[in-house]
Structure formats: C-alpha cells, structure tokens
A and B are shown apart, each in its own frame.
Chain A
Amino acid sequence: MNMTKTHLPKRFHQAVLKWKDIFLPDYEFLLENWDKYFPKDPRFELCAFRELGMCNEIECGDLKGKPKFTRSGDMEATQSSHLLGAIKAQASTEFGSIQQHQLTLARAQEEEEQFWILRMMAEELRHGYQMLHLLMEDNWSAVSDQTGADMVEEILSMKTGSHILGAFNIDFDSFVDNVTFCAVIDRVGKYQLSMQRVSAYKPMAESMPQMLREEAFHLAAGVVPLRRWMEKAAQDSVYITTTAIQKTLNKWLPRGLEMFGDERGGGTNVRYGLKPMKNAEAQQQYYDEVGKVVHDLNIRYIRARLSGLNGTQAEALLGKILEERNSHQGVAWEDLVHLPHMEFFRRRGVPAFQLVGWDGEQFEDVESYLTHLAKHLPDAYRSGSDFKHFVELLTGVQSGELELGKAVRELPALRRVGGVCPCSRAVRWVAEESQLKGNGSDSIT
C-alpha cells in the first residue's frame, strides 16, 4: 500500500497525547507488551495516514465524474457543511468509544482479549487523530465560526454524555459491553468508513483505507470473544450466559441502527457525493450482517452443546428451533441469541419513542412497555442514567407533554463528579504555542 504519514502541528499533537494520558492510561503498557500479543505487527504509531492512488473523480451523486474536491472551500456551502458535520461526528465517536471502553477494560477475564481491546482503543485514538487532521488541514471558515483549534478543543472536551451520537453517551457496565460494542457498534463504523471511502472530498476518501483495515480487526475483537463465550455458555460455564449476551445485544443494537441517521434521510449526502447509500439502505445491510453474526453464534452454541452433530445437522436443528420457537435435542429457543426487531427501543428515526417490543409487537400503554423493556435490558443498564433519561422522554412523548422532535434531539447529560473530565478543572486541551515553548514541557494549560 502506498500511504503518506503526517502529524498534527505540535500543540494539537500534544493535546491528543495529554488526552491519551487521561482517557487511555494503559497506552504505554500496550506498547511495552506489543511484541507479546502482536509479534511481527508494525508497532502502533499516533499519526494520520493518507492512501495514495485513489480515484480522483467523484463516484456518486450529482457531480459524478467531476474531479474530487481537495479543499472544502471549493464545495457548495451546504455540501461543505454536511462534510464538516460528518468529520466532527466521526471524530467524536473515535474519542468517545475510548472513554467507554476504559470504564470496564480491567474486568476482562482473558488477558489476550483485554489486549485486543486495548489495541483497538489505541487505533481508535489514531482514527480520532486522523479526523482532527482533516479539521486542521483545511479552512472551514466558510461554513463555521469556529477555528480549527476551537474544533479540536470541542472534540477533546467531549465526554460520555456530550458526544454527538447516542451510542457514545452510554456507560459500559461490564466487559460484555466492551466485546458486544466491538461486534455491533464498530460494525456501524465499518459501514460509515466504507461509504466515506468514496467521498467527493478527497482528503476524507484517502483517510479511510487504513482506518478500514484496522476496523476489520476491531470487529474480530468483538466477534471472537463472543463466539468463545457462546461455547462456554453451552457448556454451562459459571462465567457467562446467553441471556447476558442477548440483553447486551438488546442494549446496543438499537443505538447502532440509529447511527445511520433517520431512515428517511441520507439523500443529500448521496447527491453531494459524500456517501453512496441512503440511510435506510445502509441500515438494512447492517442489520442483515448482524443477523449473520447472530446465526454463527448460535451454530457455535449448538455445536458445543451437541458435539455429535455435524455442520449440516446443526444448521437443520437451528432452523427447526427458530421456526418452531421450541426445544429440540435439549436446546431451547431461549438458550440461543436472537436479533431484536429493528424498531425495538428506539429514540431516533422513524420508530423513535414508539412502543415497539423486542419481537416487533405493539404495546398499548407506557407502563406495560416499560415492564417489557425491563425484561429485555441488562439490569446494570436499567439502573443507569441513560435508561432513566429514555424513560422520561418516552413518558413525555407518549403523554403528549413532550414534542417528539424535541425528544429525538435530547442527549442524556450525564452528571460527572470530579474525576477524569478536564473541563471540570477549567483545563484547556490545546495549549498556545508560546506556552509550549515557554516552559519546555508538554503540559496543557
């Protein structure tokens, strides 16, 4: 592969390093143990990669066939504004996921799986860095009052509760979250990166290939442990149950579906050549792909439970159990993992705040719907502020006291008490150049 490698200007690079010290404290530990878990792999480096030799012509939309844009200033204002929003959202997700993974990283039972997640976190840091590089490299003054420094500051100041997309505003409660998040939410990332690979904005398109290569491993860092857990669950391990996996899937899949945006939208991005698919089309492909993962998990379970079956027999048995929703050969429908309905537990998009159940069933009143949600969501999640916020919004919408559009735009403002948020100590992320030179240190004041 032919790539260029660049770094942010010093003060922004330092800001990301400082952020890393706070939110990714095991970074140095990862590098010290790199060769143990990733022998022969190139060592991780915090930098921005750009792929060379990619398509120079716009690949979709109204401007298809025209040269790709190399500067946002050459784009139409709305087009550039959409692009800027996408870059900021992408950056927010990268930094946001690290903050979430860090919460429960130490709870992994297997050191190997913990190091996979840790490597993934470091690579997400690089992906965030890559997006900051896009912000800093161009002039966005035509569509934003913020300077590049302000934008970097804003993104690095975000924390769980103030990120742009809902999935990144939810705390992790256990290592099951780390793993399921990789398998489910990073998969949305794969779709977004794949679509942005054809972006009419060439710097964006060139940023995607290396991110996509790394993302492929992030998905495996979720799917492989899940498969191993299905085997353990089938053998009645005391450590994991399929119920725990199912409930965690129920927690994350609705948020993953919402990351594609409203099902009715996406046409503008396609027209502008920023993405090749509308929201609903990409969302459906994603849902089907998660369905494939779930199918494979169930086969893994059945083969572990009934070792005498061959592949064909296991497939036939799974089909029969799913069709009849019954028990066969000691395997019950409830023992397996299933995809929740696309409209279940949604707070964005067409089904937002509708009383749609896990199986697609419609509920008549909020109370019985909440009882239903309680049955399908993890206990630890239900006791958290995100779920409480959802319940308040849902109740408001269903009673007519809260406008649906307002509820959809609401973000859960998590209350942080001291701890890791630098803003609470009035610390700025991006230091002035003079301050860096003045004391010769890397402190961010």
Chain B
Amino acid sequence: MSEKSSELRIRSLEDTDLGGITALDEKIGGEYRPEVWERRIGYYLRRDPEASVVAEADGKVVGFMLGEVRSGEFGLEEPTGWIEVLGVDPDYRGRSVGRRLAEEMLEHLRARGATTVRTLVDEEMAGIAEFFERLGFEPVPMRSFAKRL
C-alpha cells in the first residue's frame, strides 16, 4: 500500500466538502462550477448524507461518490441504490480510492435496504465501465431513453 493510500480516510458527505468537491471537479473536468455543486451537494445532504461518501487525504478531498436509495423508476419498484456521481483526484488514481469509496457506499446502501445497486455509464466511458465491472457490477438488460430538447 502506498503512503498516500494509507492516509486515506473515507467518510460521509458533509457541507464543508463543497469547496473540495468543486475544486476536484474543476481539476478533473477543467470547469469551475460552484453553483452546480452547491445544488447537487445540497440535494444529497437533504436526501441522506450517509449514503454519499468522500475520500480525504492530507486534509483535502481526493475523491467522492454521490448517490442514494430510491425507488419508482419504470419497473424498478424495489428500493434501489443508485451511484450517480464519482470523482477521483488524478494524483491519487491507482491507489484504490474509487474502490474504497464504493465499498463504503455499498455498505450504507445495503443498510438502507437496497437489494440492488445500479448506475448508468455512457458507452464511450470505457474506463468507468471497467471500474464498475471490477467491483462486480454487470451489464443488465435495461434500455435507456433520451430525447434532445
């Protein structure tokens, strides 16, 4: 285990992560989007702050995974865990940050009564798909529909 990996701390999402997640998103995507994260983090804190998790190292946010348990999508009436956003600091990739975030989150989702955890990945994002496959996720027969407005 590398030095950086050993310093990792996985914990529930908090309001004080707003600055860190905004900065990490900018580092990954190149765009500064504070309003987006204020809205999104506000949403997940309201829904269930323990279901979303953050990885911290050296006093800063180096990864995050946001999601929740919900039901009601067509044909998915049972409580289902949804992983909706994931970000890992490029400097910390290869150090199991994503896996540790996922393990913590799945434990919470299971405790919340979810029997299945789902996520949606664009076919062009092969790296993300591989990440979930390594965690034991499998493609399932579900059709995603979209309409441009």
Contacts and interface: CB of A to CB of B under 8 A. Distances in A.
A224 B45 CA distance: 12
A224 B42 contact: yes
Contacts of A216: 12-15, 45, 49
Interface residues of B, number: 26
Interface in B8-36: 12-16, 18-19, 23, 26-27, 32, 34
Given A296-B16, A299-B19, A228 B38 contact: yes
A217 B16 contact: no
A217 B34 CA distance: 18
A307 B101 CA distance: 32
A231 B23 CA distance: 16
A292 interface: yes
A217 B46 CA distance: 5
B16 A289 contact: yes
Contact of A1 (B19, B23, B46, B111): B111
B46 A220 contact: yes
A40 B46 CA distance: 11
Nearest to A221: B42
B67 to A, nearest CB: 14
Interface class of chain A by DSSP: helix
Contact of B38 (A213, A219, A224, A295): A224
Contacts of B49: 213, 216-217
Contacts of A219: 14-15, 45
Interface in A197-249: 213, 216-217, 219-224, 227-228, 231
B41 interface: yes
Interface residues of A, number: 28
Contacts of A331: none
Contact of B23 (A40, A221, A311): A311
Residue in A41, A216, A228, A311 whose Cβ sees the most chain B Cβ within 10 Å: A216
Interface string A286-305: 00010011011001100100
Contacts of A299: 19
Contacts, number: 66
Contacts of A116: 42
Contacts of B42: 116, 217, 220-221, 224
Interface string B102-126: 0000000001110000000000000
A303 B112 contact: no
Residue in A2, A38, A231, A296 whose Cβ sees the most chain B Cβ within 10 Å: A296
B45 A303 contact: no
B47 interface: yes
B133 interface: no
B70 interface: yes
B48 interface: yes
A296 B46 contact: no
Contacts of B14: 216, 219
B45 A217 contact: yes
A139 B102 CA distance: 44
A303 B32 CA distance: 9
B46 A41 contact: yes
Contacts of A296: 16, 18-19
A310 interface: yes
Given A40-B70, A300-B34, A311-B27, A223 B15 contact: yes
B23 A220 contact: no
Given A1-B112, A300-B34, A311-B26, A227 B18 contact: yes
B128 to A, nearest CB: 24
Contacts of A228: 38
Contacts of A295: 19
A293 B16 contact: yes
Contact of B50 (A213, A217, A221): A213
B62 to A, nearest CB: 14
Contact of A41 (B23, B47, B72): B47
Contacts of A223: 15-16, 18
Given A213-B49, A289-B16, A300-B34, A220 B26 contact: no
A223 B17 CA distance: 11
Nearest to B113: A1
Contacts of A293: 15-16
Given A300-B34, A311-B26, A220 B45 contact: yes
A217 B45 CA distance: 5
Interface in B42-84: 42, 45-50, 70, 72
A13 B28 CA distance: 51
Contacts of A303: 32, 34
A397 to B, nearest CB: 36
23 contacts: A40-B72, A116-B42, A213-B48, A213-B49, A216-B12, A216-B15, A216-B45, A216-B49, A217-B42, A219-B14, A220-B15, A221-B42, A224-B42, A231-B34, A289-B16, A293-B15, A293-B16, A296-B16, A299-B19, A303-B32, A303-B34, A310-B32, A311-B26
Interface of B: 12-16, 18-19, 23, 26-27, 32, 34, 38, 41-42, 45-50, 70, 72, 111-113
Given A217-B49, A289-B16, A293-B16, 12 more contacts: A38-B46, A213-B50, A216-B13, A216-B15, A216-B49, A220-B42, A220-B46, A296-B18, A299-B19, A310-B26, A310-B32, A311-B32
**8 closest residue pairs by CB, A with B:** A296-B19, A216-B49, A219-B15, A217-B46, A220-B15, A220-B45, A223-B15, A216-B45
